[in-house]
């Protein structure tokens, strides 16, 4: 009996060996940093979770590979009505859906799928609205429930979206991960089986890679989707090897166990750059870390004081000491990778004497006392706020300003800053949709200056506000660029913030990886990547 079993085992092994995929298949292994919560980007807020869904899904419109420009996706074209309220999207014909063991699509992409994507997040009566604890943070954060008036199917390949107000960044919002288009046919099939939550665990999309399997906390496998509308990928397989420790990710890259690794330790970057077997790519993150001057409180209501403080602190030293390789000094409120970044603006120099003079002019020849709030957590744009606060404190002491560092638990900290309780408060922002509006209007507009709003300086400058509101109300990118460039000039003159830094993010690549581009939004995309 034993022998027979053994024989059967060997036979099976031989059969397996025969059916095993040819080793020549091109497999790219990406050493990802963590486990996803699920595979539906509309449910999530973290880059780790977006990364695993991006290979599978497409949006109506998408960000060009490696940039923030919005380009056609599942919608091959669109028109915007003259009043800017109605968007009509023409869908690509013949877009195929992936299949799985349990689901074989019977039709191509239609307007129904687009409607389902909106309605799951929007309408409480949708059968999927509550599935997987649906909180839809981004859908709500981007104010979609307030903005959307209706989403209608005109015909199978035409969708009409009507808004309540004109919102120029709307297209960019649609390109964000949370608007990944899901299959309504798949949703219906799952509903029939009563396994609704599967939609978030076994993703069916239209994207370049098809989901194969996820072994929890270990490996996620994808294969190239043969019928991808954008053309079959050069890679055959894409594998995420979940590797939480940064030093181990680097070791895996060096040992050839993976070809791309994100988020190296800042301390390792110099060595990586010297290593011949590794290519290092870097890019400024879509974020800014800043110190907000509360202009409703004395003495920061006086622009001279704000300028004086800006000149009293040594930004370069701060960034070098605390960010090391992982940051660059910031002069504008928006990061350099964003369109309309005004590079002609000059930052306040580090000049203690001029700072003292300005303070004297403003009536504070001997300085004053202030609080200085530092956040208690590490954020992408600020690796150690406490340390920076201490450096600021030391610099300010030199011009006679006595700053007292204040800290609260993160949730509380944010709430109190939004309420405007601080005089000097550190904060930052990470961009959502790559649109300057997402920084300039959201963080510095008058509407956000209300108590509880995200304009922490409570700075409401009519001239600035007019520019950013006007830019919000037009869809002409060239005109918007001008308006935003101008607004940055006012920002610098009025100095409602002391801009500290933009983070710099890195990835390590094996020498044989070609065509990989870093994404300004901080996610990791693998379309059109190849291995030599």
The answer to whether 288 touches 439, Cβ cutoff 8 Å, is yes
Residue 262 lies near other proteins (rule: CB under 8 A): no
Which 3 state secondary structure label does DSSP give 395? helix
The answer to whether 260 touches 30, Cβ cutoff 8 Å, is yes
Distance CA 190, CA 192 (A): 5
Residue 181 or 239: which CB sits closer to other proteins? 239
In the shown chain, the binding pattern of residues 424 to 453 toward other proteins, with x for contact by CB under 8 A and - for none, equals: ---xxxx-----------------------
Distance CA 480, CA 495 (A): 22
Distance CA 311, CA 359 (A): 11
Binding residues for other proteins, total number by CB under 8 A: 55
Minimum distance of other proteins from residue 518's CB (angstroms): 21
Residue 164 lies near other proteins (rule: CB under 8 A): no
Residue 152 lies near other proteins (rule: CB under 8 A): no
Residue 257 or 371: which CB sits closer to other proteins? 257
Residue 52 lies near other proteins (rule: CB under 8 A): no
Q: How many CA atoms lie within 13 A of 231 on its CB side?
A: 6
User: Binders of other proteins among 344-363, rule CB under 8 A?
Assistant: none
Residue 217 lies near other proteins (rule: CB under 8 A): yes
Q: Which pair of structure tokens corresponds to residue 84?
A: 């800017």
* Binding test (CB under 8 A) with other proteins, winner from 418, 433, 455, 488: 418
Minimum distance of other proteins from residue 59's CB (angstroms): 21
Q: How many CA atoms lie within 13 A of 467 on its CB side?
A: 20
Distance CA 208, CA 203 (A): 13
Residue 140 or 481: which CB sits closer to other proteins? 140
Residue 16 lies near other proteins (rule: CB under 8 A): yes
Work out whether strand 158-163 and strand 148-155 pair parallel, antiparallel, or are unpaired. Answer: antiparallel
Q: H or E segment at 2?
A: helix 2-19
User: Binders of other proteins among 317-346, rule CB under 8 A?
Assistant: none
Q: Which pair of structure tokens corresponds to residue 328?
A: 């660059």
Q: Which stretch binds other proteins (CB under 8 A): 55-63, 79-87, 390-398, 411-419?
A: 411-419
Residue 415 or 473: which CB sits closer to other proteins? 415
Distance CA 502, CA 330 (A): 6
* Binding test (CB under 8 A) with other proteins, winner from 46, 81, 188, 195: 46
Nearest to 391, CA basis, from 288, 500, 504: 500
Distance CA 390, CA 318 (A): 10
The answer to whether 175 touches 62, Cβ cutoff 8 Å, is yes
Residue 143 lies near other proteins (rule: CB under 8 A): no
Residue 407 lies near other proteins (rule: CB under 8 A): no
Beta strands in 202-351 (DSSP E): 209-215, 219-224, 237-241, 260-262, 278-284, 287-293, 327-329
Residue 299 or 445: which CB sits closer to other proteins? 445
Minimum distance of other proteins from residue 134's CB (angstroms): 10
Minimum distance of other proteins from residue 31's CB (angstroms): 8
Q: Which pair of structure tokens corresponds to residue 504?
A: 């710099």
Minimum distance of other proteins from residue 34's CB (angstroms): 7
* Binding test (CB under 8 A) with other proteins, winner from 85, 219, 469, 489: 219
Distance CA 394, CA 46 (A): 35
Distance CA 478, CA 122 (A): 32
Residue 1 lies near other proteins (rule: CB under 8 A): no
Q: Which stretch binds other proteins (CB under 8 A): 52-60, 234-242, 338-346, 391-399?
A: 234-242
Residue 242 or 305: which CB sits closer to other proteins? 242
- φ/ψ of residue 368, rounded to 5: -160, 180
The residues binding other proteins (CB under 8 A) are 9-10, 12-13, 16, 23, 27, 29, 34-35, 37-38, 45-46, 132-133, 135, 137, 140-141, 197, 200, 213, 215-219, 221, 239, 241-245, 247-248, 251-252, 254-255, 257, 379, 409-412, 414-415, 418, 427-430, 454
């Amino acid at each position: 009996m034993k022998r027979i079993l053994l024989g059967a085992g060997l036979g099976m092994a031989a059969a397996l060996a025969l059916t095993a995929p040819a080793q020549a298949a091109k497999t790219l292994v990406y050493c990802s940093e963590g486990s996803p919560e699920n595979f539906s980007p509309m449910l999530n807020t973290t880059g780790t979770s977006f990364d695993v869904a991006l290979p599978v899904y497409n949006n109506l419109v998408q960000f060009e590979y490696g940039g923030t420009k919005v380009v056609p996706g599942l919608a091959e074209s669109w028109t915007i009505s003259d009043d800017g309220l109605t968007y009509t999207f023409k869908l690509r014909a013949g877009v195929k859906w992936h299949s799985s063991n349990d689901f074989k699509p019977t039709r191509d992409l239609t307007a129904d799928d687009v409607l389902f994507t909106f309605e799951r997040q929007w309408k409480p009566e949708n059968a999927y609205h509550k599935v997987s604890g649906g909180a839809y943070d981004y859908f709500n954060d981007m104010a979609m429930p307030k903005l959307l008036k209706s989403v209608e199917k005109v015909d199978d390949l035409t969708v009409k979206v009507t808004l309540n107000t004109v919102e120029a960044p709307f297209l960019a919002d649609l390109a964000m991960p949370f608007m990944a288009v899901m299959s309504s046919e798949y949703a219906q099939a799952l509903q029939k089986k009563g396994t609704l939550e599967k939609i978030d665990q076994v993703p069916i999309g239209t994207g370049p890679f098809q989901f194969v399997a996820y072994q929890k906390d270990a490996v996620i496998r994808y294969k190239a989707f043969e019928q991808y509308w954008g053309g079959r990928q050069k890679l055959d397989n894409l594998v995420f090897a979940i590797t939480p420790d940064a030093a181990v990710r680097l070791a895996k890259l060096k040992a050839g166990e993976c070809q791309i690794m994100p988020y190296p330790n800042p301390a390792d970057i110099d060595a990586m750059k010297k290593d011949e077997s590794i290519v290092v790519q870097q890019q400024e993150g879509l974020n800014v870390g800043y110190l907000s001057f509360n202009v409703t409180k004395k003495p920061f209501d006086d622009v001279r004081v704000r300028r004086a403080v800006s000149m009293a602190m040594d930004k370069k030293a701060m960034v070098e000491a605390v960010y090391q390789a992982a940051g660059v000094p910031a002069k504008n409120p928006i990061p350099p990778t964003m369109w309309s970044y005004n590079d002609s603006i000059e930052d306040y120099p580090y000049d203690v004497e001029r700072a003292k003079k300005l303070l004297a002019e403003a009536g504070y020849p001997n300085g004053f006392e202030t609080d200085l709030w530092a956040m208690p957590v590490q954020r992408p744009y600020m690796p150690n706020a406490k340390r920076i606060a201490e450096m600021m404190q030391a610099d300010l002491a030199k011009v006679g300003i006595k700053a007292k560092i204040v800290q609260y638990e993160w949730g509380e900290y944010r709430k109190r800053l939004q309420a405007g309780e601080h005089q000097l408060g550190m904060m930052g922002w990470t961009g959502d949709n790559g649109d300057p509006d997402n920084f300039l209007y959201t963080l510095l507009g008058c509407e956000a200056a209300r108590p509880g709003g995200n304009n922490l300086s409570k700075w409401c400058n009519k001239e600035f506000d007019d520019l950013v509101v006007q830019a919000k109300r037009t869809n002409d990118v060239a005109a918007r660029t001008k308006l935003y460039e101008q607004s940055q000039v006012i920002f610098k003159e009025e100095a409602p913030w002391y801009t500290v830094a933009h983070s710099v993010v890195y990835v390590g690549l094996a020498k044989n990886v070609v065509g990989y581009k870093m994404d300004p939004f901080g996610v990791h995309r693998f379309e059109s990547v190849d291995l030599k």
